[in-house]
């Protein structure tokens, strides 16, 4: 639903009621330049809504608000580069050479640092993050890119329970590649890796999952090499996997250094450790730096998630859909395979890209909106309010399409 950005469906009463409040109307009508004129209430709004303990990603107590997913990742990269440079500088002041060289995009002021990403990832289409996006060539063609390291994301065999050994081996293969790239970019290429960006489930790239163990070990390797771990929850965040944040399923040793969000949150931004906050102001800045009007909508969303127990519903309805899709997979094994998902963040593969496109088209003629991702996956991105009744409508339509 709207590329996974509609948490409560259309015209939810809680959202419309919030917009009807005259106090909120004035907030929406008078959008501030938050970086310089935040208004006295803004810190409390952040504390009461975005940093609320039961909602914020565990262990991340700082936040920088933005506008969309791309600009959140772009600016999170800047936090990471500034953090990394400050570590090298060991609190020394900027040198004259750094100041003069950065003005003409040269080292040492413009350092040759890099961000490691993964094949199949999607982190946005703006210039910096586009060097960490690797899902479709058409996103990248004709645009200059940084020579930054790109590791393999695990490619699992399904069903998972019948391929435990192979998939564990795949985790190890990919983690070994990450280690090699850290060394190569530091010692050979002289473009040290300052950060690693990864989606908890690669969405645009094909709903590619990796094990909690993979993410736990990735965090250890990243820390060992003195880099920051950025988990991109733009598409997985806000509840569709049954937890507010997908990485909560991974029981990481410690919180990620940075976690970006957007879509269902109605605004962009990133939570981060205090260490990742630049020491000087104005280093990560733009006119708006977020939008108090969107926090009004988000507040209504959070209240509704709590009041209607929507995370439990997502888990319950997601399990219901997965069970029925697994049954369908047995009956139509020549057509669909690799049924997978967390909560209602669900996907399955089709035998070919053409078949996938055909199934999406036929579902659409039955009033069912699904999406394609990767080369031959169909993905579901329903609102958090999705119930078994809605699921039955989808499942009946898919059964009739598969029987044709």
Residues near ligand PSZ, by CB under 6 A: 3, 68-70, 73, 122-125, 199, 203-204, 232, 234-235, 262
- The answer to whether 274 touches 68, Cβ cutoff 8 Å, is no
Contacts of residues 157-163 at CB distance under 8 Å and 24 or more positions apart, as own/partner, are 158/337, 158/338, 158/339, 158/340, 160/340
215 annotated active-site = no
Q: How far is the CB of 73 from ligand PSZ (least distance, A)?
A: 6
Considering the complex, what minimum distance in angstroms separates the CB of residue 360 from ligand PSZ? Answer: 14
- Residues 6 or more apart in contact with residue 153 via CB below 8 angstroms: 118, 119, 120, 121, 174, 198, 202, 205, 208, 210
**Number of residue whose CB is nearest ligand PSZ:** 69
Smallest distance, ligand PSZ to C-beta of residue 62, A: 20
Task: Choose between 73 and 241: whose C-beta lies nearer to ligand PSZ.
Answer: 73
Q: Are 116 and 149 in contact (CB under 8 A)?
A: yes
Among candidate residues 77, 132, 182, 232, the one labeled active-site is 232
Q: What is the three-class DSSP state of 161?
A: helix
Is residue 377 within 8 A of residue 350, CB to CB? The reply is: yes
Taking the least distance from each CB to ligand PSZ, the nearer of 111 and 341 is 341
Q: How far is the CB of 250 from ligand PSZ (least distance, A)?
A: 16
Strands (E) across 108-192 are located at: 114-118, 150-151
Nearest to 235 by CA among 120, 69, 23: 69
Verify whether residue 122 is a known catalytic residue. yes
- Out of 64, 153, 263, 385, pick the active-site residue: 263
Catalytic residue among 122, 214, 348, 394: 122
Of 130 and 368, which has the nearer Cβ to ligand PSZ? Answer: 130
Q: Is 232 a catalytic residue?
A: yes
Nearer to ligand PSZ, 117 or 335 (CB): 117
Rounded to an integer, what distance in angstroms lies between the CA atom of residue 82 and that of residue 216? 25
Structure token digits, residue 208: 């590619």
From the CB of 201, what's the least distance to ligand PSZ, in Å? Answer: 9
DSSP 3-state of 360: helix
259/401 with CB nearer ligand PSZ: 259
Q: Please give the positions annotated as active site.
A: 122, 232, 263, 287
């Amino acid at each position: 639903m709207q590329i996974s950005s509609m948490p409560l469906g259309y015209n939810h009463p809680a959202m419309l009621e919030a917009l009807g409040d005259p106090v909120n109307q004035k907030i929406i009508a008078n959008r501030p330049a938050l970086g310089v004129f935040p208004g006295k209430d803004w810190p409390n709004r952040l504390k009461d809504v975005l940093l609320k303990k039961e909602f914020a990603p565990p262990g991340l107590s700082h936040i920088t608000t933005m506008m969309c997913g791309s600009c959140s990742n772009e600016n999170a990269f800047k936090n990471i580069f500034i953090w990394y440079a400050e570590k090298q500088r060991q609190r020394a002041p900027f040198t004259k050479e750094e100041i003069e060289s950065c003005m003409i995009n040269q080292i040492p002021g413009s350092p040759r640092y890099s961000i490691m990403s993964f094949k199949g990832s999607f982190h946005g289409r703006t210039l910096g993050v586009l060097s960490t996006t690797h899902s479709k060539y058409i996103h990248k063609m004709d645009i200059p890119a940084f020579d930054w390291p790109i590791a393999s994301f695990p490619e699992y065999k399904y069903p998972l329970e019948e391929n435990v050994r192979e998939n564990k081996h795949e985790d190890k293969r990919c983690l070994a590649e990450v280690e090699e790239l850290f060394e190569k970019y530091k010692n050979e290429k002289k473009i040290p890796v300052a950060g690693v960006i990864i989606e908890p489930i690669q969405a645009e790239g094909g709903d590619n999952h990796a094990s909690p163990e993979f993410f736990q070990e990735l965090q250890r390797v990243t820390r060992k090499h003195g880099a920051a771990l950025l988990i991109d929850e733009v598409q997985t965040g806000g509840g569709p996997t049954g937890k507010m944040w997908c990485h909560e399923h991974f029981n990481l040793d410690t919180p990620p250094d940075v976690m970006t969000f957007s879509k269902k949150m109605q605004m962009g931004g990133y939570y981060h450790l205090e260490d990742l906050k630049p020491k000087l102001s104005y280093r990560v800045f733009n006119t708006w730096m977020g939008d108090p009007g969107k926090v009004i909508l988000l507040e209504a969303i959070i209240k509704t998630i709590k009041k209607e127990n929507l995370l439990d519903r997502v888990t319950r309805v997601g399990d219901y859909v997965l069970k029925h899709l697994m049954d369908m997979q047995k009956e139509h094994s020549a057509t669909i395979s690799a049924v997978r998902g967390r909560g209602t963040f669900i996907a399955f593969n089709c035998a070919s890209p053409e078949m996938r496109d055909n199934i999406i088209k036929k579902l659409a003629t039955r009033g069912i909106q699904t999406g394609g991702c990767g080369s031959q996956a169909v993905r579901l991105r329903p609102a958090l309010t999705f119930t078994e009744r809605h699921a039955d409508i989808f499942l009946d339509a898919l059964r009739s399409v598969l029987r044709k």
